[in-house]
Structure 1
Amino acid sequence: MGRKERTIFITIIANIILIILRFFLANLSGSIGLAANAWHSFTDVFVSSVVFSGLMIAKHAGYRLKIATKKAEHILAIFVSVFIFYMGLEILSDALSGEKTELRYVPFVAAGAFLGVAINYFMARYKIYVGQQTNSQSLIADGYHSKMDMYCSIAVLVGLLGSLFGMPSLDKLAAIVAMVLLMISGYEILTSNLRMLLHPDEDTAGGEHVHHNHGHGGKKLAISTGALLLGAYLLSGVYIVQWDESGVVQRFGNVVNASVQPGIHYRLPAPFESVMLVNAENVEKIETGTQELLTGDTNLVNINLSVHYKIKNSADYILNVSDSDTLIQSSAVTSIRRIVGERKIDDILTEGKSSIEADAKQDLQNAMDINGTGIEIVSVQLVEAAPPQAVLASFQDLASARQDQSIYINEALAYQNTIIPQANADAYQQVAEAESYKQEKISTAQGDATLFAQRQEAYSTSKRVTEFRLYMEAMDEILPNVQKILLGGNVNINNADLWISGKKAAE
């Protein structure tokens, strides 16, 4: 095995290791870009295998076997190119799907992807160096193909690192870049092998299959210009969502991401995808203007309603609402007409304002939800609730009369609160005095009864003495201030001389 064959064999082994590593990392992280990069490495293995087999056949086989083997290689290459196109379409379908892929173990996977970039770089340098030393155009072309795989790996690495900085869509962009490079590889394999299969005389001697022509400066310039334009076109999909905004990404009119959070993001460039931003955190205000409405008791009243709202669902708002101010204003007017028509004028002008605001807010929110507007009603305020100017004086007189009525009622209640406690206190005092008098009479009667019983007992024992004592006590009570003289029963009063001296006698 010569130097060229050994070089290609080593790179085939390295590419197989890369394929295994990238498929493992893709399954571990869920990265579409890594899966596309792994399939691109598969094309490197195939191209290197074709070059290796061509060199080995050219070195050891006869002419007829060479021709038959070359044809078989070309046919196999065509089937492989078709398979490459199929895998490219599968990758493109996954990248353009609306499903969100959350990458896992990104730092570890990014380190593995960086290792793959380094392996691609050294393989490309090694192939190109050996190809230049051995004058092998196929080996040089295979080295440039490895360089393309390195660029693809760098794009995938950028996509992985982008997810660490809030740009998960970069992984899908990397998958698309890898798919484009994969398609280019498949196209080169298909066209070169079809040409060699249809025109075997154009095939180079010794099995040197030239799959890439890098010798023309004009082609390099065209490729570089095209790459720059493609890069600028792809970078046009980068957009920024501010802290108070929310974005909606649409692909051909269909919503693929209904809530893009603040930060740096990526979408597919126009015309594939578009993004619309709305101020989701700002609270907007709209007033209905003064409306002359008829109340439930057939009175007229001027009403002005102020509505504060914000956006709670960006996708519904963008798709279903064209003029939010007109929508909310007309809905608020309809709602307040119904509410006022069910209430009396007194309730509207006095204590019913808070309930009117609550009912209007509920009606408006229901209307917004039913129509799928994505709008949240924050608050409703009754800015104006007053009678029309033509009858304002009458309403003021009525209000004054009601105020006077309230004053009189309050004064009567104050007098009531004063007189009732006083009457209760007097009643309590009279009841207490009556109870005391009652108790006094009862005690006196009981004492008299006891005294009578004692006297009756004494009378039964000594009748004459008791009668005389009672007589004397009665006379003392009847004549309290008269001096009384006791004489014996055998004294003749008419013949008796009573010698009374002293102060009492003079009286």
Structure 2
Amino acid sequence: MFKDKRLRASALCLITELLLGGFRCALAMMTGSLALMADGVHALSDVWVSFVLFFVLMFRVSNDRSKKFSPKLINYVESSAVIFSAIAVLFAAVAIFDRLYKTETPQIEYLWLAIAGTAVVMVVIYFLAKLKQRVGRETNSVTLEADGYHSKADLITSAAVLLSLVGSLAGIHLDKVLAVIIAAMIALLGVEMLVSGLRSLISSQEFDQLSLIEWCGKKLSAIPFVTATKRTINATTTVLYKLRYVIASGVVLAYAVTAVSIVPLGYVGQKVVLAKQTQADLPVGAYLHAPWPFAQINLIRDGDVRKANVGLIPSAVTQRVSDGAWFSVSSRTRKDDNTGYLHTGDQNLVFVSGELLYRVTSPTKAATSYPELDTMVTELANSSLWELVSRKTYLELIQGDRQELADQLNSFISRGAEQLNYPIEIVSFSFESIQPPGPVVNTYRKLLQARQLKVDKVNQALTEKYFQLSAARANAVQIIEQDKAYAHAHNTRAEGDITRFNSIAQSYNRKPEAYKLKLQTESFQRTLSGRPLTIADPRFDKHDYRIWSAKQ
């Protein structure tokens, strides 16, 4: 049977393709490439289908010689084998989709090994396709020649996998997208085989492979809109072909522009060569490098201030009166409270949360060496917060100066960042909440209200005391000043009297008679003041008086 050249070529190609499929799967497991794994499963699916069809063909050829079984039974066996193979292929496609759904984009290892292995596979597939086509032409086997063209189609799939691996060197990760496309191709192959097998089984005819793509193409070509669209595409293609040199020149020029990058103000540049990032910050300016995707310069904002939420998060059963107020937990929902609390230095529980602002001092170093910098800084701030709380008493945290506590926490975080060589600078930290546990907040509020009432009463008493003292002191000062003024007035009058008496004494000593006359005159004035006066002139007779009133 294997004297037939077609069978020998088919057997050789099947064994080689089986080895290539296994090699690709092993290479995928070593490197972690999902696209390479899907390509390997796709190749093994084709091999499996080819094996089934090969053995069915051998069974049919053998029966044609021996005539042991009826053609109907042969068709039944052939259709059943195809349906079984289709189900196996569909299971393989579902398994790939399931893995893609559960797996995040992987980090491909041994990338150069994957590229070299895929290139070798492509070379072998190319020679296998050529072998099938040559043997098919020599033996007039349309099936074998068509299988050669199918191998060339598989070559395109492997080329796409190779391009995705090369793109990974430049930071273009298409591995998962390409794996989805290949898995869809596997599913399409399974559906085509399943429909073809069921059609052959129902009609009891010889198996004929159905191409859903060709079937859909024929159906769509009967639609006028599709036909018009096809004519438009052909006309557009003709125009583009005439302008091929202009378009090619524009593409080359656009590609050459990718070798120039500009770092604007407010940014620093990070050079990436074959997916390897440098740690040097490129300052503002223009730079020339290898074209994309071999090299590029990523822009990173310089002096970017980031925020990290530090501390614990209240549970869903907590209640707040307003934003910024303490949350509380009612007695009805206390058993459902799963809020985390921190232990203070005096073995009490306290809830603490805050906001940290920090600046990245070296953006390139942060992106290269610390890709999870935000998470790492948040964890550092949390550990520093726990350390601070464990060193403070309950009252120091609840009633202490928050700015002083924030400054201490800043020093803890800065020291930890310096020890861990984090490229950050602490800008500020502010506490959003420092409060007792939610279930005891209402009781603590009553205690604070009682303390506040006590403080208010004491303050009122002190205010009244200081007011009375101030009033008494002001009254005393007023009395003292009045006494001082009264004494000063008496002293001034006494001094004036002394001066006056001294002046009178001096006058008396100089002219005693005149002073006596003055005293007599003043005495007369005081005595006769307000009384009628009779003035008598000695030259007149006493009976001849003239009487004048004192007012005259």
* TM-score, normalising length: structure 1: 0.43
* TM-score, normalising length: structure 2: 0.40
Bigger radius of gyration, 1 or 2? 1
